[in-house]
Amino acid sequence: MTIQWFPGHMAKAKREVSEKLKFVDIVFELVDARLPFSSRNPMLDQIIQQKPRLILLNKADLADPAQTTKWIDYFTSQDNQVLALTAKNDKSVKQIVPAAKKVLSDKLDREKARGIKPRAIRAMVLGIPNVGKSTLLNHLAGKKIATTGNKPGVTKGQQWIRFGNQLELLDTPGILWPKFEDPDIGQKLALSGAIKDDLLHLDDLALAELEFLRRFYPDQLKERYGLSEDDLFQELPDLLIEIARKRGFKDDYDRASEMLINELRSGKLGRYTLDRFEELAK
């Protein structure tokens, strides 16, 4: 799945991020815990350069916990500070400020030694579309201050948001890179909802999903759709039709495809991680 998609507002956002980096202490890189490799923007290193960074693996409640542990260990071994969280969970979100202070400990110690009065940490939130930036902001504030939606492109501009006296956040639109050279990455991002569905062939995407689930999470697939072990050995198009029939869709291939993708994204198929540590972290 080769996808080229770089709307004008994303090019503008990239320029604005580069210009405003000088105003922040740290970058919060928000990543989908189900795609801890594929949902990291390869342009980000170039954009933020040496600015301190905290990697936030969001939607950890939807991800395979065993895989999340492996990815945390991996990122930590690469000298990154990383935190797995669920943006809607108070206990989870409250870990962000202490983690940020740990990343900035040398800077904060220098300022303290110079007698500089402590101030709120200024951070910039960066990530690809649909990783949960607006949900995180709303939960930190305890009210709706940013628009949310289970689709990319919801956040259109940049805004400073203050949270108590410890943190000021600059929200930014999700920024994708111009072209996905690796078709597998494009496919995974499409499954997660990071790419607008009208750019995709949903039936092809549903078949890719079935292939993935059959390989890594067969029990979850069988339980959700009442499938037998023998059902899983069918050709993928036949398996999709079988699921359609069990859901009362008869042979409605398109309806079954859309249902399958939506149920994966919403967590109804159980916890899963599309980026398998054993295959990608080499």
Q: Report the C-alpha gap between 104 and 171 in whole angstroms.
A: 20
Residue 262, marked binder: no
- b vs e for 222-239, b when ≥16 Cβ sit within 10 Å of the residue's Cβ? bebbebeeebbeeeeeeb
Any binding-site annotation on 99?
no
170: its two tokens: 């600059």
Could you tell me if 140 and 133 are in contact, meaning their C-beta atoms sit under 8 angstroms apart? no
Interatomic CA distance for residues 183 and 179, integer angstroms = 10
Contact present, 271 and 213 (Cβ < 8 Å) = no
Task: Say how many residues make up the chain.
Answer: 282
Q: Which two tokens stand for residue 12?
A: 């503008």
Q: Is 149 marked within a binding site? A: no
- The rounded Cα 241 to chain-centroid distance in angstroms is 30
142 annotated binding-site participant: no
Contact residues for 240 (Cβ-Cβ < 8 A; gap 6+): 203, 206, 207, 210, 253, 256, 257, 260
Query: Binding site annotation covers 133?
Result: yes
* Residue 228 marked ligand-binding: no
Q: Is 132 annotated as a binding residue?
A: yes
20 marked among binding-site residues: no
Torsion of CA 46, 99, 145, 138, to 10 degrees: 120
- Rounded to whole angstroms, the Cα distance separating 189 from 1 reads 10
Question: Any binding-site annotation on 155?
Answer: no
Residues flagged as binding site for GTP = 58-61, 130-135, 174
Residues flagged as binding site = 58-61, 130-135, 174
